[in-house]
């Protein structure tokens, strides 16, 4: 169990167990970690009766010694955990479809978080492509005939998005490419573009459920951040 999974389970609260902290410490040691607090936490497994309060105390010592921080809220923990799964897939430690399965399981277990609609839309479009229907909607810009590569491409985008401050309902939002206004109104639609109610530009309001719109928005946002960093 890696740190992102541990803290997501912790902040979710409903499925964390005392032994999860101990297992995490043991995996760190197996990976070559020699921090004293980590050894102390792993050693709790030999106690006749494991004290949850003691485990919690040692866990915080581990955080301090290893320079780790707990995420500020559930959404941040979700993004970090989901991104870590994508990273494992991109590193070749799991298959693309296993990664997809993990994303769909998280979505199903946690009432379909908005950010995970990226994956729900992708799997639906891949299914439509396989069955040669005309119902491909949000990922038509991808080469759907190569499902593994599609999953990798979306995973790369997903990781980048999770590193940003996103609107609460992203990707169920509209973003204006002219004035950068964000709208959450009338998002239950398959329409790709609309007129911006803020600046009045025709077709400037982009539906972020479409892969190519997220990609363009992400590139602009990253370019803007780099520009600010150079000032």
User: Rounded CA gap, 30 and 74, in Å?
Assistant: 29
- Is residue 97 domain-resident? yes
User: Rounded CA gap, 218 and 31, in Å?
Assistant: 35
Domain count of the fold of the chain: 3
- Is residue 194 domain-resident? yes
The structure tokens listed for 228 are 């600010």
Check whether residue 87 and residue 135 sit in a common domain: yes
Residue 227 has pLDDT above 50, yes or no: no
Domain of 62 in residue numbering reads as 3-66
User: Rounded CA gap, 21 and 218, in Å?
Assistant: 36
Whether residue 209 contacts residue 170, with contact meaning beta carbons closer than 8 Å, is answered with no
Tens of pLDDT along 63-94? Answer: 999 999 999 899 999 999 999 999 999 999 99
- Is residue 222 domain-resident? no
- Is residue 116 domain-resident? yes
Residue 47 has pLDDT above 90, yes or no: no
- Is residue 231 domain-resident? no
The structure tokens listed for 38 are 């980590």
- Is residue 227 domain-resident? no
For residue 23, what pLDDT is reported?
95
- Is residue 228 domain-resident? no
For residue 48, what pLDDT is reported?
84
Percent above pLDDT 70 for the chain: 96
For residue 225, what pLDDT is reported?
62
Residue 221 has pLDDT above 90, yes or no: no
User: Which residue, among 88, 122, 77, has the nearest Cα to 104 in the 3D structure?
Assistant: 122
User: Which residue, among 147, 148, 116, has the nearest Cα to 129 in the 3D structure?
Assistant: 147
- Is residue 150 domain-resident? yes
Region 186-207: what's the mean pLDDT?
Answer: 93
Check whether residue 180 and residue 124 sit in a common domain: no
Cis previous bond, 171, omega within 30: yes
pTM for the full model?
0.89
Check whether residue 156 and residue 180 sit in a common domain: no
Check whether residue 79 and residue 158 sit in a common domain: yes
């Amino acid at each position: 169990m890696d740190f992102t999974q541990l803290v997501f389970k912790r902040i979710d609260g409903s499925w964390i167990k005392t032994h999860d902290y101990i297992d995490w410490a043991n995996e760190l040691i197996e990976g070559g970690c020699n921090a004293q607090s980590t050894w102390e936490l792993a050693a709790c497994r030999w106690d006749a009766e494991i004290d949850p309060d003691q485990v919690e105390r040692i866990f915080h010592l581990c955080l301090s010694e290893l320079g780790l921080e707990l995420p500020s809220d559930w959404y941040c923990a979700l993004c970090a955990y989901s991104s870590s799964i994508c990273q494992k897939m991109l590193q070749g430690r799991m298959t693309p479809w296993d990664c997809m399965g993990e994303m769909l399981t998280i979505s199903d277990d946690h009432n379909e978080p908005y950010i995970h609609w990226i994956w729900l839309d992708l799997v639906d479009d891949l299914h439509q492509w396989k069955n040669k229907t005309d119902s491909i909607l949000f990922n038509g810009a991808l080469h759907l005939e190569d499902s593994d590569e599609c999953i990798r491409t979306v995973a790369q985008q997903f990781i980048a998005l999770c590193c940003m401050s996103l609107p609460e309902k992203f990707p169920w939002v509209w973003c204006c490419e002219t004035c950068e206004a964000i709208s959450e109104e009338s998002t239950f639609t398959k329409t790709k573009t609309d007129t911006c109610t803020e600046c009045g530009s025709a077709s400037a309001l982009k539906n972020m459920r479409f892969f190519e719109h997220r990609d363009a928005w992400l590139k602009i946002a990253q370019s803007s951040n780099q520009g600010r960093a150079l000032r």
